[in-house]
Amino acid sequence: MQDVHQAIEALGDAIGLDMAALDANGHMTLTVDEAMPVNFARIDDGAFEMWTPLDDLGSATDASLLSAMLASNHLGEGSGAGRLAMTPDRSGFVFCERVQVAGLDAEALSERLAGFIRFATFWNSAAGREALGRGGSGTALPAEDHGFMIRA
């Protein structure tokens, strides 16, 4: 891909969304399984960030939760190419992933999105919250790929 706008358009075509495009502010949101928003934010001409809120994880002052989140990010063991993060205002948590578009084709972008959705779905599930609540690293992700539906 040459730039982020071309990448988003190619991704939309690959997943069957004819009109996928970033808005004037460089943002776009897709909804997965009619429940989970996957937000896209243009970082620069060559990169965008995918992110989704993580609900019901607990308090940003809970040291054991924060420690488990950091452990889950280690070498992608519980987060793949993404990462568990706290919002800048420390009011909540997100799962996010930076995507550099250079050298990626539509198939590679689709695979990145599918991987992101797989991990985001886990971290938004009871099993993901339980893994963090136990201070675990969340490395016991579901091995199988589950189907999902995406809507603009």
Residue 151 lies in a domain: no
What letter does residue 84 receive in the DSSP assignment? E
> Contact 124/54 with Cβ under 8 angstroms?
yes
> Contact 13/110 with Cβ under 8 angstroms?
no
Which residues are 48's β-sheet partners? 42, 99
Q: What is the dihedral of CA 147, 149, 150, 152, to 10 degrees?
A: 180
Residue 96 lies in a domain: yes
Question: What predicted TM-score, i.e. pTM, was given to this entire model?
Answer: 0.85
CA-nearest of 33, 48, 23 to 150 is 33
Is pLDDT of 144 > 50? Answer: no
101: domain range? 4-135
Residue 142 lies in a domain: no
Residue 60 lies in a domain: yes
Residue 48 lies in a domain: yes
Q: Measured between alpha carbons, how far is 82 from 147 in angstroms, rounded to an integer?
A: 20
Residue 67 lies in a domain: yes
Torsion-angle region of residue 26: left (phi > 0), alpha (psi -120 to 50) or beta?
left
Q: Report the pLDDT value the prediction gives residue 143, as an integer from 0 to 100.
A: 45
Number of structural domains found in the chain: 1
Task: Write the pLDDT tens digit of every residue in 10-53.
Answer: 999 998 988 899 999 999 999 998 889 999 999 999 999 999 99
Residue 140 lies in a domain: no
Task: Write the pLDDT tens digit of every residue in 46-91.
Answer: 999 999 999 888 888 889 899 889 988 888 778 889 999 999 998 8
- CATH (domain of 14): 3.30.1460.10
